[in-house]
Amino acid sequence: MPASIVRKLPPAAVAALAASLLALALFSGCAGEAAGGGGGGTRLFVDSAGREVELPLHIDSVAPSGAYAQIMLYTLCPEKLLGLSSPFSRGQKAYIDEKYWDLPVFGQFYGKNATMNFEEIIKAAPDVIVDIGEEKDGIAADMDGIQEQTGIPVIFVKATLGLTAEAYETLGEALGVQERAAELSAYARETLGLAEENRARIAEGDRVGVLFGNGEYGLEVSGAGSVHAETIELAGAVNVAALDKVSGSGRDEVSIEQVMLWDPDVVILAPDSCYGDIFDDPLWEGVGAVRRGEVYEVPSGPYSWLDRPPSVQRLLGVLWLGSLVYPEIYEIDMVGETQRFYALFWGYDLSEGEARGLLENSTLKRR
């Protein structure tokens, strides 16, 4: 049981007890609090996997299970973060309050590089461990296993891009930060609602075909239907990467001949891909979008606006991509919107110059 759940008896009560009854009094006090009495108590919370989890009434410290959880928790309640799943990179630190840079790193539950240090997380004793993201097969059993291994409550909150508002509301309820959650949830609903309205205005034959390229040569793609490319579809565009099977990693390498067959209207490249070289690369010279100059770089900071890791930054990514490929429909001042987003989600006062720098290889370039 986490130390935060166990409360000490009031000093006056202890003083009033006879020495011979002290052990019994302590036992009774702990038992009463386990049932929900005493100074703190607990409550039952039903997570997104349908599990009933006993949480402290008041949660002061939280540990994330991975990148998605770390990002959502930082934007929601950074003061409750007891540690990180991964350290902030130099580029990310530009937008992150310095007092959070050196939090202990616990690692992550899932992925090919699962690194969770259970000894350290048990030693730190957070009030709750939070896992956020897609609902994987066996998620309930996974959460139960981690909870049994650590003795710390563990909850799962489902959060695809389309469920961002609901995820914030669930987290707000679990962690006791409903007011802040409502602010972020409102932005998510506003953004996704606008995207839905705009998609309805675009005829099927007028949808822009987009290729999202990753990797050193831009030939690692995220197939249609992949969670790693859902921003494209939400913005009203068509992901041209039609693959027979989409890998779990979200990146499948294809040939340049396949790209030419797909013939995208627009190519967008990940922040760490080949944007700086693509126009001089003979490999890409046969692709129409490259010849027309319809190649753009996904903005990034503190995380990619489109993917890697999938996060709430994609809310801004939906507006960015929509305004890039359908400027006459979205009609958004992306410089101002970027400043608004960073202030609300990251607590960062982004200057106009910084916002323009983030957009210089995409929205601003197109204009």
Q: Are residues 9 and 156 in the same domain?
A: no
Q: Report how far apart the first and last C-alpha atoms of the chain are (Å, whole number).
A: 58
Q: Are 135 and 276 contained in the same domain?
A: no
Q: Is 212 in the same domain as 238?
A: yes
Give the β-pairing of 220-221 and 295-297. unpaired
Is 111 within 8 Å of 66 (Cβ atoms)? yes
156 within a domain of the structure (yes/no): yes
Tell me, yes or no, whether 294 and 327 share the same domain.
Answer: yes
Mean pLDDT of 105-115: 82
Shared-domain flag, residues 351 and 231: yes
State yes or no: pLDDT of 113 exceeds 80: no
Q: Is there a single domain that holds both residue 96 and residue 161?
A: yes
Same domain, 171 and 265: no
Q: Can you list the alpha helix ranges (DSSP code H) found in the chain?
A: 11-16, 22-34, 67-76, 90-93, 118-124, 139-150, 164-175, 178-200, 230-234, 256-262, 288-291, 313-325, 327-330, 334-341, 352-359, 363-366
Asked if residue 307 is part of any domain, the answer here is: yes
Number of domains in the chain: 3
pTM of the model: 0.86
DSSP state for residue 306 in the 8-state scheme = S
195: in domain:
no
User: Is 193 contained in some domain?
Assistant: no
Q: Are residues 210 and 323 in the same domain?
A: yes
Same domain, 206 and 355: yes
Does 196 map to a domain? Answer: no
The domain in which residue 105 lies consists of 41-188
- Taking only the tens place, the pLDDT of each residue in 235-284 is 999 999 988 777 666 789 999 999 999 999 999 999 999 999 999 999 99
Residues 35 and 74 in one domain: no
Check: CB of residue 40 under 8 Å from CB of residue 127. Answer: no
Do 158 and 223 have their domain in common? no
- Determine contact, residues 85/69, Cβ cutoff 8 Å: yes
CATH number at residue 145: 3.40.50.1980
Pair 45, 119 in one domain = yes
pLDDT-derived band at 112, boundaries 50, 70, 90: low
Give the C-alpha distances (Å, rounded to integers) separating 171 from 77, 115, 145: 10, 24, 21
The arithmetic mean of pLDDT across residues 199-226, rounded, is: 94
Dump pLDDT digits (tens) for 10-58: 333 333 323 322 332 333 333 333 333 334 799 999 999 999 999 999 9
Q: What percent of the chain has pLDDT over 90?
A: 78
